A and B are shown apart, each in its own frame.
Chain A
Amino acid sequence: MRKYLTVTLIGCILGIHTLKGQDDLLDLLEQESNQEETTDITYATFKATRVINGQSVEMTSAGVLSFIIAHRFGKISDGIDQFFGLDQSTIRFGLEYGISDKLNVAIGRSSFQKTYDGYIKYKFLSQSTGARSFPFSAVLYSELAVNSSDFPDPDRKNYFSSRLSYTHQILLARKISKSFSLQLTPTLVHRNLVETELDENDIPALGAGARIKLSSRVSLNAEYFYQFSEPNREKTFDGVAIGFDIETGGHVFQLHFTNAQGMIERYFITETRDDFFKGDIFFGFNINRVFTIVPNKEAK
């Protein structure tokens, strides 16, 4: 009796297996495909290659040329006379090119202090999930800026090298959820020529940036750079910025308020002379537009 019961039981179990049909078929397919589980590299940590003033871990893709126009107007606290700052403006044009998805080079020029800049960005770690998961993205950033305006003291012996400043950063960011990303930016700014002997040529700083997605195309971004330099903290304020990113097709518009008028790291991190919390705020915007120069060959 027991024997027949066991066999019947086994028979039923086998029968149930074959009856499950279609659901099993898709599950079986999932099993077969998951044998080679893929690694998904996290994308769209930020909507643009800048958080606001500072760089973000986003890279311009391979074969793509990114054109950035950045505007900063005058101080809102200047009042109606200056139309709340809109009467004055400084501008930076920049072109960024993706040599590869991980290596970008760029050049630009700002009307503020008539400064030319060039930089290299290299993404050496990417946040990923799946087969090989990694918690954050990391990018190396090195910039050279050349101030081409007239020297403040023409009677002194002025060197070309005095025009130069360098900025080095490591950008560390994590897309914490679909709507929230956080970035920390340890920075070193080196200025060849500073105003007085008491000013420091090397200023380390730490930047923090965050973005919250309000909808699929709009996000709220905020940024703060803390300077580790007592002498400089007495003369300047830390750079603060808050703004919105609006993405439409091939453009990203970044509209923001900041206390920094310069658009290069040297200026907005170490030479901001305005107090955000006293209303010395500049309205500004960045427009990012991408052009595909070398199309993706895998799209066939």
Chain B
Amino acid sequence: MKSRITLLILIAGLSINALAQNKYICRNGHASFYSKAMAENIEAHNNQTSAILDQETGELAVSIPITGFQFEKALMQEHFNENYMESGKFPKATFRGKIVNYESIDLNASKNSVDISGDITIHGVTKPLLISGVLENVSGDLVGSTKFDLKVADFEIKIPKVVINNIAETIHVTVDLELKAPAN
């Protein structure tokens, strides 16, 4: 009986471990966005982006804490969080997706052009998103980069008329991730 319990615990322990294995993890990725408008251009950088890639299924999840976006102007950063993104209510922007045609991708190749299809959630609103990017294999770790555009209005972010010339309708987003190879 004792050996059976030990076996049960061992198997349970292994199954929990199995969740963390075969996952590439990035903890301090970089995400930035750029808005080009008549009155001014706005740029912000976030170095607290985290991501996880499942080696077995090609699934990718990315999480970006909104208060991690750094602006040149402190007041702009405060307004971004307090008035536009409402970071208190929606602290993170997340993406869940899957690499398209993952069966034909070999992660050990030095460079892969990939399409990732999934959903992005910003300000509590989820929209489908298809992004194209590059995955480079650098000594086993994967360096991923992608660029895509998002429409501010899609995510119920209100821009008051008074600053309509300061904020673009379409924002250009860049994401760079260094996904560390799984421990095994």
Which A residues are closer than 8 A to B by beta carbons?
A: 6, 10, 13-14, 17-18, 21-22, 24-26, 28-30, 32-33, 38, 40, 43-44, 61-64, 101, 178, 216-217, 247-250, 290, 292, 295-296, 298-300
Contact = CB atoms under 8 A, between A and B. Distances in A.
B65 A296 contact: no
A290 B76 CA distance: 10
Interface in B100-125: none
A14 B11 contact: yes
B20 interface: yes
B82 A43 contact: yes
Contacts of A300: 45, 70
A6 to B, nearest CB: 7
A6 B4 contact: yes
Interface of B: 4, 8, 11-12, 15, 18-20, 23, 25, 27, 43-45, 48, 50-52, 54, 57, 59-63, 65, 67, 70-75, 77-79, 81-83, 88-89, 94, 96, 98, 158, 160, 162-163, 166
A118 to B, nearest CB: 23
Contact of A18 (B18, B70, B89, B162): B18
Contacts of B11: 10, 14
B19 A32 contact: no
B88 A178 contact: yes
Contacts of B79: 247, 249
Given A178-B88, A295-B73, 15 more contacts: A14-B15, A17-B18, A21-B57, A21-B59, A25-B52, A29-B50, A29-B52, A29-B63, A32-B52, A44-B78, A62-B74, A247-B83, A249-B163, A290-B75, A299-B43
A25 B78 contact: no
Contact of A26 (B94, B158, B166): B94
Contact of B15 (A13, A28, A248, A295): A13
A245 to B, nearest CB: 13
B160 A217 contact: yes
20 contacts: A6-B8, A10-B11, A22-B98, A25-B59, A28-B52, A29-B52, A33-B50, A43-B78, A178-B89, A247-B79, A247-B83, A248-B163, A249-B79, A292-B73, A295-B72, A295-B73, A299-B43, A299-B44, A299-B71, A300-B70
B83 A216 contact: yes
A14 B19 CA distance: 11
Given A64-B75, A216-B83, A29 B61 contact: yes
Given A6-B4, A217-B160, A300-B45, A25 B96 contact: yes
A22 B82 CA distance: 31
Contacts of B160: 217, 248
Nearest to B160: A217
A5 to B, nearest CB: 12
- The 7 lowest CB-CB distance pairs between A and B, nearest first, are A61-B74, A295-B72, A298-B70, A299-B70, A26-B61, A29-B52, A25-B61
B162 A249 contact: yes
A244 B98 CA distance: 49
Nearest to B30: A300
A61 B78 CA distance: 10
A116 to B, nearest CB: 27
Which residue, of A33, A178, A295, has the highest number of chain B Cβ atoms within 10 A? A33
B10 to A, nearest CB: 11
A17 B15 contact: yes
B120 to A, nearest CB: 12
Nearest to A10: B11
B25 A296 contact: no
